[in-house]
Structure 1
Amino acid sequence: MSSILIVTDAWHPQINGVVRSLERTAQELVRMGVRVEFLTPGAFYTLPCPTYPEIRLSLAHRGMVRRAIDRFACEHLHIATEGPLGLLAASVAKSRGEAFTTSYHTRFPEYLSARLPVPLDWSYAWLRRFHNSGQGCMVATGTLESDLAARGFTHLMRWSRGVDEEVFRPHEGSVLPKDLKGPIFMNVGRVAVEKNIEAFLDLDLPGTKVVVGGGPQLESLKRAYPDVHFTGPKVGEDLARHYASADVFVFPSLTDTFGNVLLEALACGVPVAAFPVMGPLDVIGDTGAGVLSDDLREACLAALDIPREHCRAIALNYTWAASARQFLDNANRAHDIKAGIRRAPDAQGVTAPTGADL
């Protein structure tokens, strides 16, 4: 595979795990000699997503997307999101009988139900039809793979994540205001209702709670929690220094499929406190780099005793180079599936089905 087109509705100026994962995977693929192109909302007129204006919805039609796909002339099509562009790209590929892969980044049914009274079964039925229509659906963890398989999703492929260990590393000192009392319990990520941030902010903890990030819930949480230090969004080296200024990284989300921020915090030497759910179970598990408990306060306090050097060592098991190799192998396997070629089991023991199996 020498060229890949990635279609994504999630793109700059959004700052989230989907965008970072796609960018870093693309960078590694280019190093491997693969030409990578992106089709994003930046190519079209857009309008803000209701209740979430940071997300831009593309005003495009099938012909526009078809012409864009033809212009890039890539060997493989990967659809990263289930938004307007993703749906149109899948429609084009299916009409032509061309192979394509998708990826499941977000537990959209749970996100939607946090905002609107939409039954989970309805959302999952729609997502199942979308992801099962391609030749592979990439998932980040074994827990997510098992969950989706139980819901009827098929030809699932593993695509893990990595961390930039050169950017995200331990730093001496703190970039936080000197008057903040320790210990510092920190959350980093999108400040939105589906992230369950209040579960962290409502905890009775010593020291100071810090929230790094922006999003639709930021201003309301600032008003509701005046004792919490909100920094707004941070990126790059500045973000790494904020991570390293914490004593414990608190991850209260119940809906993330992986949680890139978990790896970033660990790479900076910061132990994790989280609920025992998808994402933390896969990244932290029994590594000893964090504490998972239904009692999040208990997890926060216990995590204070974890050695920072151990956290860093666990994070270094994840590399973007390995992630990109996995992605590329999945793309190649999708074309084998479309051609009806059966391959040997992959690293997870999963054998690609033949065309007759689909």
Structure 2
Amino acid sequence: MRIALLTDAWKPQVNGVVTALTALVRELEVAGHEVQVIHPGLFVTVPCPTYAEIRLAAAPLPGVARRLQRFQPDAVHIATEGSVGLAGWLYCRLRGWRFTTSFHTRFPEYINARWPMVPVGLGYQVLNLFHRRSVRTMVSTRPLADYLQDRGFSRLALWGRGVDTRLFRPVEPMPLDLPGPVFMYFGRVAPEKNVEAFLQLDLPGSKLVVGDGPARAELERRYPDACFVGMHLGEELIRHICVADCMVFPSRTDTLGLVLMEAMACGVPVAAYPVTGPLQVVEHGVTGVLDNDLQAAALAALELDGEAGIAYARANSWAASAAQFATQLAPARRPNLRFAPPALENAR
């Protein structure tokens, strides 16, 4: 199958969406599909407001149209709601092509965290206008599907995520010489990630922050006792993860929390709030602890065996995730192609 994937989140960005889409493309190609990724790097870009390291495509519609017309995809999937995604949405609507979308990020909450005067409800109304024109909207978890249905979304289908166990695995820890136990956060250091809730906890040992983002400088200044090591990739990232005795995930808005699966794959138990993303991937009391008291969760997670998380990760591969994604695609123009019914239509 020839699949066009339109996304505003792509390399060199480093986040969970990019990780998921990169793995998806790799596994789709291994399975014999031809994938064309249309992303901001193909166009003139401008900095994203409040996130200068993220570049957004400026006026990409003509370039998106040319690429789709040349490629003539069997299926079109629009992964994000930014300028590239909107250009693909407009082109498909003008041509009468069908397409699917996916919901990765709770942008209304993220925007509200930065600009409280913007109502969360208004944000979901706008996003619903975007997604309601798709054949189906893929979501990572059933709790997220319920959350979106409560906000008027329909035709939702499940597309679960995976973890790369060839990369994320127990290895020799980075020699950071931190007093134990070591509690770690890794990921973007941004307001919507609620990293300060982790830094405010009264915990023994050390706090380690692996990652970068717009909130890092201020948090590093305000919490000098925490160890900030910046962003790392590949084996260096894995060695930093393996320093930890517990991964603390303070976000309340993530739709999945891929970093939780990656920490578990390295044998590190996790602590998180009992919210949408963690509820789907963490087995409470086995691979991690979910509690509205994040300090209690972090301390309790120290008692867990990391082997349970390793076993969970091995059972959730990216190959299975990509196969599930492919069954949810819709034929852009040819109804004879496989067209699976929405997995979560009217599900509660």
Whether these two folds match at TM > 0.5 is yes
1:129 alignment partner in structure 2? 129
2:41 alignment partner in structure 1? 42
Contact 1:79/1:100 (<8 A) preserved: yes
Q: Where does structure 2 lack aligned partners over 5 or more consecutive residues?
A: none
1:229 equivalent to 2:227? Answer yes
Shift of 1:151: 1.1
CA shift digits 1:199-241 (9 cap, x unpaired):
0000000000001011111111111111110111111111111
C-alpha distance in 1 between matches for 2:299 and 2:346: 43
2:149 alignment partner in structure 1? 149
Contact 1:187/1:211 (<8 A) preserved: yes
C-alpha distance in 2 between matches for 1:287 and 1:135: 38
Equivalent position to 1:313, from 303, 311, 314: 311
C-alpha distance in 2 between matches for 1:164 and 1:299: 26
2:62 alignment partner in structure 1? 63
1:335 alignment partner in structure 2? 331
Which letter maps to 2:189?
V
SS in 2 for 1:216: coil
Shift of 1:339: 4.9
C-alpha distance in 1 between matches for 2:65 and 2:235: 39
Map 1:202-213; keep pairs closer than 5 Å: 202-213=200-211
SS in 1 for 2:153: coil
SS in 1 for 2:331: helix
Shift of 1:41: 0.7
Map 1:276-291; keep pairs closer than 5 Å: 276-286=274-284, 288-291=286-289
- Over the aligned positions, Cα root-mean-square deviation in angstroms equals 2.1
Contact 2:331/2:339 (<8 A) preserved: no
Map 1:156-305; keep pairs closer than 5 Å: 156-172=156-172, 174-178=173-177, 180-286=178-284, 288-305=286-303
C-alpha distance in 2 between matches for 1:8 and 1:343: 22
Contact 2:244/2:268 (<8 A) preserved: yes
Shift of 1:351: 8.9
1:3 alignment partner in structure 2? 2
C-alpha distance in 2 between matches for 1:31 and 1:305: 40
Q: Where does structure 1 lack aligned partners over 5 or more consecutive residues?
A: 353-358
Contact 2:29/2:35 (<8 A) preserved: yes
C-alpha distance in 2 between matches for 1:139 and 1:215: 26
2:103 alignment partner in structure 1? 104
SS in 2 for 1:279: helix
Aligned residues: 346
Shift in alpha-carbon separation, 1:35–1:344, aligned structure 2, 3 A: closer
Shift of 1:287: 6.5
**TM-score, structure 2 as length reference:** 0.95
Map 1:61-100; keep pairs closer than 5 Å: 61-100=60-99
C-alpha distance in 1 between matches for 2:338 and 2:21: 28
SS in 1 for 2:212: coil
Contact 1:248/1:270 (<8 A) preserved: yes
Shift of 1:342: 11
C-alpha distance in 2 between matches for 1:340 and 1:351: 25
Q: Percent identity?
A: 50
Shift in alpha-carbon separation, 1:338–1:123, aligned structure 2, 3 A: farther
Which letter maps to 1:220?
E
Contact 2:187/2:259 (<8 A) preserved: yes
Contact 2:44/2:57 (<8 A) preserved: yes
Shift in alpha-carbon separation, 1:61–1:314, aligned structure 2, 3 A: closer
2:30 alignment partner in structure 1? 31
Which letter maps to 2:106?
R
Which letter maps to 1:16?
N
Contact 1:99/1:338 (<8 A) preserved: no
Shift of 1:302: 0.3
CA shift digits 1:35-81 (9 cap, x unpaired):
01111111111110111101111112432321121123221111111
Shift of 1:243: 1.1
